[in-house]
Structures are given as C-alpha cells and as structure tokens.
Amino acid sequence: MAGDSAQDGGHFKAAYTLETNEQTREHYSSWAESYDQEVSVENGYAQPERVAHTLAELYAGKSIQILDAGCGSGLSGLALKQAGFSTIDGCDFSPEMLEKSLEKACYRNLFEADLNAGQANIAANHYDVVTCVGVFSFGHVFPDACDDLLRILKPKGHLIIAVNVPYWEQGELTKKIDALENSGNIEVLKKELGEHLPGHDVMGWVITLQKCPETKR
C-alpha cells in the first residue's frame, strides 16, 4: 500500500478511513486532478470495465437510459460508452470530480447531487439502469441510499453496484440488500467477485440487482 500523504499516494489509504460526507467531499476535491492517473493508469482500476461488461450482457444492442450515480471523474461512464451505451447521465457531489467527468464527453447530462440525500427532482421509474461504481464505501454513499436509487429505476430495471471487498465485508450493504430482497423489492441476480484495484491488491464485487415489478418503493 502506498504511503500516507496525498503526494505519495495516500489518497488510497485515506479513502478507507473516511467517515463523514464532509471528509469525503474534501477528499475528492483534492484528489480530482490526479485521480485518473493514480487509479486507472497506475493501478489498473478494473470495476468500470467489469460493470460495463455486466450491462452489455444484459442490454447489448438496446437503447437504454443509464444514471451513473457517483460518476466521479467519469471513468465509469467512459467504460459504458466504450461498451456501446450512449444515453448516460452522471451525478456526483464533488464539483471538482464532475469537472473531470465533463472532459470525458460521455454523459448526456451531468449534475451535482448528494446521493445520501435522495433525488427528489428525479421522477420515479425513470431510468432503465443505475450504476454505482466505487461509491458505496466508507464515509461515501450509505446503504440506505439504495431506497431512492430503486425509486428512480423503472420496474424490472437494474441497479449495478461495484464495491470493494473491505467495505462489503463491513456488512452494512449486505444487510440492506438482504432486507430489500426479503421484502420483495428486489431480486439479486448475480454477485461476482473479481479485481477492483489490482495495483493495490484490492478485490471487489459486482452485484446485479433487479427492481421487482410490484416493488413497494
């Protein structure tokens, strides 16, 4: 694992110690400029391609509307575009990360949003797919945000969550997903373990959830 300061790669280590929204927003504000280089180029961030592959299996050749929730600098949207998807909105609560996303030119709309606060301005049953790549994590987006992400999904739409193993093993997200499944709101279609950040030996899950047609949300 890299050292402690932002200059020597400490962004990675710090990302696993964040607790509050404020800490997380500051963290990404200072990481935005070097994020793509450190995460993708130097450490082979694998989750965007894994999620894009999952979506291609579900929707190849279909015209769908996607929300890349917590789009960050746009690595996740770029992978979706490269997999053939063209109608992708992105949102994030870090203006600095959103600015980087804009440069990728892969989003239809980009907007600032705190995913822990709900998206009152997005109609229910709006998107075919919501992707959350690397956004459920320590001090990031909390498991209860799933409720609103499911609300804005069309019935039978998919919520695809890519999450690092250390956070998954913390257990809160698993608990939430189990509760949603037990109450008949979602079906868990697939959970796949694979690479998350190979340069740091971090593994991750890609979890495919489907909103039930008779959902209670």
Instruction: Note the residue count of the chain.
Output: 217
Select the residue interacting with ligand SAM from 12, 24, 46, 55 (CB under 6 A).
24
Q: Helix, strand, coil % (nearest 5) of the chain?
A: 40, 25, 35
Using the rule CB under 6 A, which residue among 67, 135, 150, 173 binds ligand SAM? 135
Are 210 and 187 in contact by the 8 Å Cβ rule? The answer is yes
Residues 84-123 that bind ligand SAM (CB under 6 A): 92-94, 97, 113-116
Task: Report if residue 52 touches ligand SAM, rule: CB under 6 A.
Answer: no
Residue 4's identity, in one-letter code, is: D
Residue 148 touches ligand SAM, criterion: CB under 6 A: no
Q: Which of 43, 67, 72, 196 binds ligand SAM (CB under 6 A)?
A: 72
**How far apart (Å, rounded) are the C-alpha atoms in residues 42 and 180?**
37
Query: At residue 192, what is the residue type?
Result: E
For residue 168, which of 123, 205, 132 has the smallest C-alpha distance?
Answer: 205
Are the beta carbons of 152 and 126 closer than 8 angstroms? yes
Kindly tell me which residue out of 43, 76, 119, 215 binds ligand SAM, with binding defined by CB under 6 A: 76
The binder of ligand SAM chosen from 75, 150, 180, 186 (CB under 6 A): 75
Which residues make up the interface to ligand SAM (CB under 6 A)? 21, 24, 28, 47-48, 70-72, 75-76, 92-94, 97, 113-116, 133-135, 140-141
